[in-house]
Amino acid sequence: MQSFLPDIDSLTLTQQVAQMVTVRTSGYLFDHQIQYPSWEANAATLRYLFEDLGVGGVILLGGSAGEIALRTQQLQDQAKIPLLISADIEEGVGQRFSGATWFPPPMALNAIAQTNLSVACDYAEKMGAVTAQEAVAIGINWVLAPIVDVNNNPDNPVINVRAFGETTEIVSKLATAFIRGAQSYRVLTTAKHFPGHGDTAIDSHLELPVLSHDRARLERVELPPFQAAIQAGVDAVMSAHLQIPALDDRYPATLSPKVLTEELRQRLNFQGLIVTDALVMGAIANRYGVEESAVLAVEAGADVLLMPLDAEKAIHAVCAAVTANRIAPERIRASVERIWRAKLKVCSPSETPSLMSQLAEPSAIATNTEILQASMRVHHPTPSRLDRLPDTGRNLILIDDGIDCDFLGRTAPAIAAPSQFGFTHVEVIDRYTPTLSLDSNLTSSYPTLLQLFIRGNPFRGSAGLTETAQNWFEFLLKSQQLQALIIYGSPYVLEQFLPLLPSEVPYVFSYGQMQLAQEIAIAALFAQKK
């Protein structure tokens, strides 16, 4: 191996196993900024994990892109062996780290592919390239994307609009285009979640889903996108926390030798990194615990253990399994060799990140704008309830969580822009808002622009339409107050509303929720009023 990586045989067993562990930490620079203390290691813990145990990777969440550039350099300086630094940036770096490019969810490209697949593939490739370029610019060398699940279940709360589409062909083509774009830069890409999480209605962050399809169906629908990603040279494949009795009636995929070794490693001939989905998720953690889940995952064939709740316990449990001859030392070495090959590809101490000029470049913003516009749905009826604008209208915004919302603020287009068209009375409602009795005798009557921010919510098992949104929609219809509708996020919510929506009510649907999407959607809704 090159000089910046030690000889594997010079590492102790503990150090070898520790290289197989990726821990979560905050993207913020200081301990007092940590938002999830039970999951995110503080400075003292990280120092121990790096210096005493030799943990091989981190996954980051939170902070601005500028902070991440400093944070990744700080982490690499602390580690004795260069780190694989990862992030869930399926929608671009700006999805997780403010200031960088935040694309709409991948399903937006599926909408474009319905009419022009080649254009959609071109956008997917540009999306992969921008994501990889901006990741490298701030020191992230492992992109945990693309998702290659086929979302053929509208009630799927965990994949949903994160998927590139609902058909095997489109998902395969768009995902491989994303990989192709990212390969222009020194990052690892990841196809997830093997062997396919698209047809589930249970959130694996909370419980263990069971996929009852037979092998013939899996080989026809779920597996081909993974095969395409492997042929395209994807660097890693992430396991799914779900059980598929047709492949293994005992263990979920993450812990199954039949799935990870026999199917993925041997039958599909995948030679890259096999990484678990986060081991803190309820589907695994609630059933197997920290230590046994780590051992079972390694036995199954995983090379990287992502986010065990207690990294030290996980490492010691795997070491104990080796000492007890439950796991062969050669099995550990094989994983570390794969990790070394990955680090040789993307880690280099001679290169420094923080190329901040490469973030949110005009070309990236232009591509993002084109994707948002091309995937948007707009309905301008004649006659329209916006033919006459109100003197004092209500701008009613429904979001899931106003406390932890990074796309709304006083100057956000969804809040500020409608006022110039008469919708000056702003109301924001989220799941913390006390329930209001929606009775026309008790509720103020305003001509209302209803804006819904709804998409799947992992960790809460919500696939889309909330009871609050449904109630407000029905109330505004019944009371004749609904003047216009904008939905940001899930196309499945729009499909639920359309049969009930009067023909004279204009609407806009956008896959994106970020402020650029708001600006474009509101401009489209009021285009005839300028």
Quote the CA–CA distance of 362 and 378 in Å, as a whole number.
26
Coil, strand, or helix at residue 241? coil
Q: What mean pLDDT do residues 95-119 have?
A: 96
CB 159 within 8 A of CB 456: yes
Beta bridge partners, 372, equal none
* 459 pLDDT more than 80: no
User: Positive or negative, the Cα torsion across 190, 196, 198, 203?
Assistant: negative
Quote the CA–CA distance of 341 and 12 in Å, as a whole number.
19
User: What are the tokens at 479?
Assistant: 């009371």
Coil, strand, or helix at residue 436? coil
* 26 pLDDT more than 90: yes
* 283 pLDDT more than 80: no
Which of 323, 266, 332, 330 lies closest to 297 in space, CA to CA?
A: 332
DSSP string across 434-460: PP----TTTSPP--EEEEEEE--BTTT
Quote the CA–CA distance of 363 and 23 in Å, as a whole number.
34
Coil, strand, or helix at residue 61? strand
> Hey, which bits of 16-127 come out as E strands?
21-26, 57-61, 84-87
| Helix ranges (DSSP H) in 309-361 | 311-323, 329-346
DSSP at 480: T
Quote the CA–CA distance of 506 and 490 in Å, as a whole number.
18
Beta bridge partners, 379, equal 507
Percent of the chain residues topping a pLDDT of 90: 77
DSSP at 264: I
- Look at residue 453 in the predicted model and tell me its pLDDT: 94
* 2 pLDDT more than 60: no
| Helix ranges (DSSP H) in 198-310 | 215-217, 224-231, 257, 282-300
Quote the CA–CA distance of 434 and 437 in Å, as a whole number.
10
Where is 508: in which H helix or E strand? strand 507-510
CB 282 within 8 A of CB 206: yes
- Look at residue 212 in the predicted model and tell me its pLDDT: 84
Give CA torsion, residues 285, 291, 292, 297, to 10 deg.
Answer: 80
- Look at residue 144 in the predicted model and tell me its pLDDT: 98
254-276 per-position pLDDT tens digit: 999 999 999 999 999 999 999 99
Percent of the chain residues topping a pLDDT of 70: 93
Q: Cα angle vertex 24, ends 19, 30, to 5°?
A: 120
Q: What mean pLDDT do residues 148-166 have?
A: 87
* 353 pLDDT more than 60: no
At a CB cut-off of 8 Å and minimum separation 6, what does 516 contact? 102, 365, 368, 369, 372
- Look at residue 351 in the predicted model and tell me its pLDDT: 54
Q: Cα angle vertex 316, ends 312, 318, to 5°?
A: 120
* 284 pLDDT more than 90: no
Rounded to 5 degrees, φ, ψ at 313 are -65, -40
Quote the CA–CA distance of 429 and 204 in Å, as a whole number.
28
Is 411 buried (19+), middle (13-18) or exposed (0-12) by CB count in 10 A?
exposed
Which of 23, 20, 49 lies closest to 298 in space, CA to CA?
A: 20
CA separation, residue 29 to residues 68, 305, 358, 412 (Å): 8, 24, 22, 27
- Look at residue 433 in the predicted model and tell me its pLDDT: 80
Q: How confident is the model at residue 530 (pLDDT cuts 50, 70, 90)?
A: low
- Look at residue 204 in the predicted model and tell me its pLDDT: 58
Q: Which one of the listed residues 149, 277, 400, 430 is annotated catalytic?
A: 277
Helical axes 168-182 vs 117-137, angle rounded to 10°: 40
Give CA torsion, residues 159, 160, 161, 165, to 10 deg.
Answer: 90
Q: How confident is the model at residue 441 (pLDDT cuts 50, 70, 90)?
A: low
Least confident of 40-54, 224-238, 373-387, 426-440: 426-440
Q: Which one of the listed residues 193, 197, 205, 241 is annotated catalytic?
A: 205
Q: Is 303 a catalytic residue?
A: no
496-527 per-position pLDDT tens digit: 899 999 999 999 999 999 999 999 999 999 99
Q: What share of the chain is helix, strand, coil (3-state, %, to 5)?
A: 45, 15, 45
- Look at residue 483 in the predicted model and tell me its pLDDT: 96
301-316 per-position pLDDT tens digit: 999 999 999 999 999 9
User: Positive or negative, the Cα torsion across 242, 248, 249, 250?
Assistant: negative
Q: What mean pLDDT do residues 413-441 have?
A: 84
Q: How confident is the model at residue 439 (pLDDT cuts 50, 70, 90)?
A: low
Provide Rg for the chain, Cα atoms. Answer: 24
Domains of the chain: 12-192+289-357 (3.20.20.300), 376-529 (3.40.50.10870)
Q: What mean pLDDT do residues 135-153 have?
A: 95
Where is 47: in which H helix or E strand? helix 43-48
* 350 pLDDT more than 70: no
* 327 pLDDT more than 50: yes
196-230 per-position pLDDT tens digit: 887 776 565 666 778 888 999 999 999 999 999 99
- Look at residue 461 in the predicted model and tell me its pLDDT: 45
More confident residue, 136 or 439: 136
Helical axes 311-323 vs 329-346, angle rounded to 10°: 140
Quote the CA–CA distance of 89 and 103 in Å, as a whole number.
10
45-75 per-position pLDDT tens digit: 999 999 999 999 999 999 999 999 999 999 9
Coil, strand, or helix at residue 494? helix
* 1 pLDDT more than 60: no
DSSP at 400: S
| Helix ranges (DSSP H) in 378-502 | 413-416, 467-478, 491-497
Q: How many CB atoms lie within 10 A of CB 36?
A: 12
* 465 pLDDT more than 70: no
Q: Is 199 a catalytic residue?
A: no
